Structure 1
Amino acid sequence: MGFLSWPYIEGSSGWGEITSMTSFCELDFYLTPYIAEFINTATSLMYLYLGWRGIENTKRNGEDRIVILCYAMLACVGPGSMAYHTTLKYTGQMIDEFSMLYATSVILYAVLSVTLRPETRRFLGASVACVAITASIVHSYYDHTPSFQLVFGAMICAVFCDCVWLVATKVKDRDAVKDMKRLALYGAVTFLGGYVLWNIDNCFCAELRGFRNAVGMPLGYLTELHGWWHIFTGLGVYYYVVFIEYLRLYVGSQGALLDETLRRKKTAQVSIEDSIEKEKDST
């Protein structure tokens, strides 16, 4: 250990027995009995910050309530993640996983509802909610993780596919397409970057722990890669919600222009018909 370096010493839980189904590479309770994984808990605040920032930005751009809800659900992932990484309890794990599922559900609704009528949107919202709640019940009561992962993965794929379809068929402005593709690329790269780091954390846990034991704290914090997963996935989701917000604004404005065009055509048609009737009456 060098100057300003402190050793990692695993402690005991102040929350009682650890009951979570999964654990990570980090040593537990090394700073306090009430925070199991310090870095994983601290980096969960990133979700709160990004959600708050997104809400504030959206309020300046027209206050799309669905987009605001997307950012609010992103912010809720933060406390859910903290409940898990602070306690390593099964209940905390469920809160963490369900917060991610429900956030994804809202984002899915935000994408699929872009071109739908109000009555169809209500049906879509009820359907997505039923799927998410059913997956939650099956996962928590029957401990059936594969079904939960299947639903979660299917939602992510549906979001991606519908975004691709909307950009390809509804967005005609080249500059808008370029901006949207850039946002989508930023989101995908940062999200996948976090996923890669998390897998490195899983595959090379022994080596990473050995390095941390050698250098101690705080330098060892940099190698707690699940924390980086929080940061990068938070940024990835944030970029994607910004992209979806841009998409909804564009498609919505195009719809408004279409409605206005139809209204003007109808008004012009009525005026022509009135003129014809007046001419008939005069003759």
Structure 2
Amino acid sequence: MNKYYWGDHDASVKFCENKYEHYYWIAEYHNTTSSLCYIFTGLIVMRTRLKFLGQLLFCVGIGAMLLHTTLSHLSQMGDEMSMLALSFYSLKELRPVTSSYLIYPLLTSYCLFSKYFAVFFLTFTGLQLLIAKYASAKINRKDKKWIFLYFTSFIIGSLCWLLDQVCRVGFIEGLEPYQMHAWWHFFTAAAIGFGYMAILH
């Protein structure tokens, strides 16, 4: 019999938060509940002309909740595929000539190598760099507040993610109570919202 409610943790990515501390059926309580930030931001974005991106962001929230509730590989795939789809269609919003058909080889190749977190990480990072490149050309630079808020939130969120990974491998003891990955969810959800506001203005 499995010692965890959802079975063995077979996700290829790990987080610092202690497991099953609050509820026997939620592996990482804080990381699960903080995923609601994506859902709330997605609901706000759905009320704009970027409705489809809001729906994808909503799916990112659901995927993140499932991953942190179960720590299963299948849930990780749902989380990461929704992140890749959101990134791809955000890029397409900035660069409309991007072929919609590219999403299929992107997600197929991810599925083939989903056991290797590095494949997702490199693909996701590449998409973020392309988004930054095309955003800098398209966004109205006169309205800099949204861009400033986007970059500030994203940098703080990235530092939180990095601290969570450092805590996980034991380089910095005592970071677990600060729930750095939960803060990653908060700051990146805010960054996405600010980024879409920059596109809309």
User: What is the TM-score when the length of structure 2 is the normalising length?
Assistant: 0.89
Distance 1:145 1:210, change over 3 A: closer
> Which residue among 69, 72, 75 is the counterpart of 2:58?
75
- Relative to 1, partners in 2 of residues 1:43 and 1:189: Cα closer, same or farther, differing over 3 Å? same
Counterpart of 1:87 in structure 2 is: 70
RMSD (CA atoms):
2.1
Deviations 1:59-89, CA, capped at 9 Å, x for gaps? xxxxx3xx11111111111110011000111
Query: Deviation of residue 211 (structure 1)?
Result: 6.8
Q: Does 1:194 align with 2:185?
A: no
**Aligned runs of 1:77-156 on 2, under 5 Å?**
77-113=60-96, 121=97, 124-127=99-102, 129-140=103-114, 143-156=115-128
Gap change, CA 1:16 and 1:148, over 3 Å in 2:
closer
Shift of residue 93 of structure 1?
A: 1.1
The residue correspondences of 1:38-77 to structure 2 (distance < 5 A) are 38-56=29-47, 58=48, 64=49, 67-77=50-60
Is the alpha carbon distance of 1:144 and 1:210 closer, same or farther for their aligned partners in structure 2, counting shifts above 3 Å? closer
The Cα shift of 1:185 comes to 1.6
Aligned: 1:226 with 2:200: no
1:111-138 CA-to-partner distances (Å, cap 9, x unmatched) read: 101xxxxxxx5x72223x1342233233
Could you tell me which amino acid in structure 1 is paired with residue 39 of structure 2?
Answer: L
Which structure features the higher share of helix residues? 1
Secondary structure, in 3 states, of the residue corresponding to 2:141? Answer: helix
2:191 counterpart residue number: 236
Identify unmatched segments of 5+ residues in structure 1: 1-11, 59-63, 114-120, 168-175, 213-219, 247-283
Q: Tell me how far apart the structure 1 counterparts of residues 85 and 91 of structure 2 sit (CA, whole Å).
A: 10
- Contact persistence 1:135–1:151 (CA under 8 A): no
Q: Give the conservation status (yes or no) of the 8 Å contact 2:81–2:107.
A: no
CA distance in 2, matches of 1:104, 1:33: 33
- 5+ residue gaps in structure 2? none
Aligned match of 2:138: 166
TM-score, length of structure 1 as denominator length: 0.64
In structure 1, what is the Cα distance between the partners aligned to 2:175 and 2:45? Answer: 37
Tell whether the 8 Å contact from 2:35 to 2:62 is kept in structure 1 after alignment: yes
**Percent identity of paired positions between Structure 1 and Structure 2:** 27
Q: Partners of 1:196 and 1:49 in 2: how far apart? A: 23
